[in-house]
C-alpha cells in the first residue's frame, strides 16, 4: 500500500451518510474508492455537478471533474453553471472539502496553489472551498520529494486561506486543529511519535487518546 492509498483510505473514514463532499484535484479524487460499504455521500464538483461517481466503462463526452478527468454520474445527478456551483460552496452547503496541500502550519493556515517562480494555472476554487466548506481536510504526503517537511510552524508559500484547516491526513499521521492547537491524534502503524516529530516542523500536542490509524 503506497502513501497515497494510505491517505485516501483514512480520509474516507471521516465521512458520514448524507454528506455533501467536494474533492480537490489529485490525491483527493482517490478517496471514493475506499468509502465504507453502504455509505452514501454526494460528491460536488465546482465545475457544476452534484452526484459525481467513479468512471465505469467508456467516458461520457463532456463529463469531467474539476481537474478535467473523465468521471461518472450517479442516478439523479444534477448539472448546473458555475454561478450555482459557487453559490453552493460560498453558501455553506458543502459539509467537507478534501484538498491537497503544499504546506500547512500549526495555526491551520494552508498554502496549496503556487510555488513562486513556477508556472501555475491559478487558485481555481480552492479559496472559496476553504472559506465556504464546513470542514476542511488537507490530504497530502508528509514531506516533499526532497524530504522537506510540509507541516511547518509557519507557511512560507503564498497562502490559500488562514486558520481554516481542521484536519491534516498524511501517510504517517493524523492531526486535528482545535482551539488553536495542533494535535496528533493518530499515527501510522509502526511509526513512533518521535519519528513524526523528526519530519514535522510544527509544534504539536499529543492526544491522550492517541491511537494507530485504522485503514479498514
Give the pLDDT confidence of 133-153 residue by residue, as tens digits.
Answer: 999 999 999 999 999 999 999
Question: Who has greater pLDDT, 138 or 52?
Answer: 138
| Domain enclosing residue 207, as ranges | 3-212
Q: Which of 5, 14, 37, 46 is catalytic?
A: 46
pLDDT at position 122 over 80: no
- Asked if residues 102 and 132 have their Cβ atoms less than 8 Å apart, the reply is no
Question: What digits encode the pLDDT tens for the residues 158-188?
Answer: 999 999 999 999 999 999 998 778 999 999 9
Query: In the prediction, which pLDDT does 69 show?
Result: 87
Query: In the prediction, which pLDDT does 114 show?
Result: 80
3-class DSSP state for residue 129?
helix
Query: In the prediction, which pLDDT does 206 show?
Result: 97
Query: In the prediction, which pLDDT does 75 show?
Result: 92
* Domain CATH code at residue 65: 3.40.1080.10
Q: Which band of pLDDT confidence, cut at 50, 70 and 90, is reported for residue 17?
A: very high
Q: How many CB atoms lie within 10 A of CB 123?
A: 13
Catalytic status, residue 37: no
Query: In the prediction, which pLDDT does 216 show?
Result: 73
pLDDT at position 123 over 80: no
Q: How many CB atoms lie within 10 A of CB 91?
A: 9
Query: In the prediction, which pLDDT does 1 show?
Result: 85
In the chain, the number of structural domains is 1
25 burial via Cβ count (<10 Å: 0-12, 13-18, 19+) = middle
Question: Who has greater pLDDT, 119 or 112?
Answer: 112
Amino acid at each position: 500500500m503506497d502513501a497515497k492509498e494510505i491517505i485516501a483510505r483514512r480520509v474516507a473514514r471521516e465521512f458520514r451518510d448524507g454528506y455533501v463532499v467536494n474533492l480537490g484535484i489529485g490525491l483527493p479524487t482517490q478517496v471514493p474508492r475506499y468509502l465504507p460499504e453502504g455509505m452514501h455521500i454526494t460528491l460536488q464538483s465546482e465545475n457544476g455537478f452534484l452526484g459525481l461517481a467513479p468512471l465505469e466503462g467508456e467516458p461520457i463526452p463532456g463529463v469531467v471533474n474539476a481537474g478535467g478527468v473523465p468521471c461518472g454520474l450517479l442516478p439523479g445527478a444534477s448539472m448546473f453553471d458555475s454561478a450555482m456551483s459557487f453559490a453552493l460552496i460560498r453558501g455553506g452547503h458543502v459539509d467537507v472539502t478534501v484538498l491537497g496541500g503544499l504546506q500547512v502550519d500549526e495555526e491551520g493556515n494552508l498554502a496549496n496553489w503556487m510555488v513562486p517562480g513556477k508556472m501555475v494555472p491559478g487558485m481555481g476554487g480552492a479559496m472559496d472551498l476553504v472559506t465556504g466548506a464546513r470542514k476542511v481536510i488537507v490530504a497530502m504526503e508528509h514531506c516533499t520529494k526532497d524530504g522537506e517537511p510540509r507541516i511547518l510552524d509557519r507557511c512560507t508559500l503564498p497562502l490559500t486561506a488562514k486558520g481554516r484547516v481542521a484536519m491534516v491526513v498524511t501517510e504517517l499521521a493524523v492531526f486535528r486543529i482545535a482551539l488553536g492547537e495542533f494535535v496528533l491524534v493518530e499515527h501510522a502503524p509502526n511509526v513512533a511519535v518521535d519519528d513524526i516529530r523528526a519530519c514535522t516542523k510544527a509544534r504539536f500536542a499529543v492526544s491522550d487518546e492517541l491511537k494507530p490509524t485504522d485503514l479498514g
